[in-house]
């Protein structure tokens, strides 16, 4: 119960002396985290803090997404399907948060944004290496993207490593092959530095899994998790496009692209096309 003055008494053992103890702020390195919001507009524009924090929180969540997806990929390689699915389940929640978060930035009006946009120079989300890393881990490889990071050796090295490594989908297909499914050998030996392209010969493998789900329950669940991942990723892209349209209309992007038109084309990129193609065939004669 609280006192009549609507304050709460400290419990007797509440710790208040942190001279020699780890505190909340020191554990989380809040000094570093909370000094990293440095508006560039002059005089500082009120809304630039929103813009910075929206991006920084996205980057923090992307860091965790990458951590979980790389781990899920490695677990698949080790035939540890259940823990891999646990990782993916977490990623899905983060994706939902990231998609929901667009509503905060949508409170930035076109007029407000135009007042500080000029200070952003050529910086753009196109240069987010973590976003690109997530695309690579999911299998949408594109060597050209590395050129953006020539001046950032650490980012370049990470992307180069992920470009050369099998994606989470490559590892899933290899897992299925080891489990006895007739995954086309060409897919297992493909050049993993290239984007995965639709392979019609893979669709019958998924058809078998979906039409005999009771016999392949774990694989069936895994397939649906992958579809959820792609679905969520596309929802984020769509919300980005819609936010861009309402904020800068058809203006060209600070990164040098045509802007909304360029982002629209990203909606046609696909990570796991065979998992969508199988839907057309389910329940039709073989």
CB nearer ligand HEM, residue 130 or residue 175:
130
CB nearer ligand NFK, residue 59 or residue 74:
59
Residue 243's binding partner out of ligand HEM, ligand NFK, none, with CB under 5 to 8 Å set by partner kind: ligand HEM
CB 147 within 8 A of CB 167: no
CB 190 within 8 A of CB 163: no
Contact characters 41-60, ligand HEM, x per CB under 6 A: -------------xx--x--
DSSP state of 143: G
Distance of closest approach, residue 4 Cβ to ligand NFK, in angstroms:
50
CB nearer ligand HEM, residue 113 or residue 169:
113
Q: Quote the Cα angle for 50-52-55, to 5°.
A: 105
Cα separation, 218 vs 47, in Å, equals 47
Kindly identify the residues of this chain, within the stretch 86-125, that bind ligand HEM according to CB under 6 A.
105, 108, 113, 124-125
Asked if 128 touches ligand HEM (CB under 6 A), the answer is yes
Residue 123's binding partner out of ligand NFK, ligand HEM, none, with CB under 5 to 8 Å set by partner kind: ligand NFK
Return residues touching ligand NFK (CB under 6 A).
Answer: 55, 117, 120, 123-125, 248, 253-255
Distance of closest approach, residue 150 Cβ to ligand NFK, in angstroms:
18
Q: Which amino acids are annotated as binding site for substrate, given as ranges?
A: 51-55, 113, 117, 254
Residue 266's binding partner out of ligand HEM, ligand NFK, none, with CB under 5 to 8 Å set by partner kind: ligand HEM
Residues present in the chain in total: 286
Alpha helices in the chain (DSSP H): 24-27, 30-33, 48-77, 81-100, 102-105, 110-117, 129-138, 153-164, 168-178, 185-188, 203-211, 217-248, 260-266, 273-281
Structure tokens belonging to residue 79: 């035939």
Q: Which of these, 128, 161, 141, 147, lies nearest to 62 by C-alpha position? A: 128
Structure tokens belonging to residue 70: 């790389």
CB nearer ligand NFK, residue 151 or residue 280:
151
Q: Which of these, 246, 250, 268, lies nearest to 259 by C-alpha position? A: 250
Chain positions contacting ligand HEM, by CB under 6 A: 54-55, 58, 105, 108, 113, 124-126, 128, 131, 240, 243-244, 247-248, 253-257, 259, 262-263, 266
């Amino acid at each position: 119960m609280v006192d009549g003055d609507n304050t709460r008494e400290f419990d007797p053992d509440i710790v208040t002396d942190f001279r020699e103890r780890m505190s909340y702020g020191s554990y989380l390195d809040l000094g570093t985290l909370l000094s990293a919001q440095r508006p560039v507009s002059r005089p500082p524009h009120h809304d630039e803090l929103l813009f910075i924090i929206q991006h920084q929180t996205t980057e923090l969540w992307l860091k965790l997404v990458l951590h979980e997806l790389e781990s899920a990929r490695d677990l698949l390689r080790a035939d540890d399907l259940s823990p891999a699915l646990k990782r993916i389940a977490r990623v899905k929640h983060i994706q939902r948060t990231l998609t929901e978060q667009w509503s905060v930035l949508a409170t930035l009006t076109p007029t407000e944004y135009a007042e500080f946009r000029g200070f952003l120079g050529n910086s753009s989300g196109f240069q987010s290496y973590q976003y690109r890393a997530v695309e690579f881990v999911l299998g949408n490889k594109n060597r050209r993207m590395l050129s953006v990071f020539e001046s950032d050796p650490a980012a370049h090295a990470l992307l180069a490593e992920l470009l050369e490594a099998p994606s989470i989908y490559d590892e899933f297909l290899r897992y299925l092959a080891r489990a006895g499914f007739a995954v086309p050998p060409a897919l297992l030996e493909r050049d993993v530095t290239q984007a995965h392209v639709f392979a019609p010969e893979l669709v019958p493998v998924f058809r078998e899994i979906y039409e005999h789900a009771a016999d392949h329950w774990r694989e069936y669940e895994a397939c649906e998790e992958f579809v959820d991942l792609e679905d969520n990723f596309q929802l984020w892209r769509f919300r980005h496009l819609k936010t861009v349209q309402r904020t800068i209309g058809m203006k060209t992007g600070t990164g040098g692209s045509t802007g909304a038109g360029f982002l629209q084309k990203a909606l046609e990129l696909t990570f796991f096309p065979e998992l969508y193609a199988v839907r057309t065939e389910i329940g039709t004669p073989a």
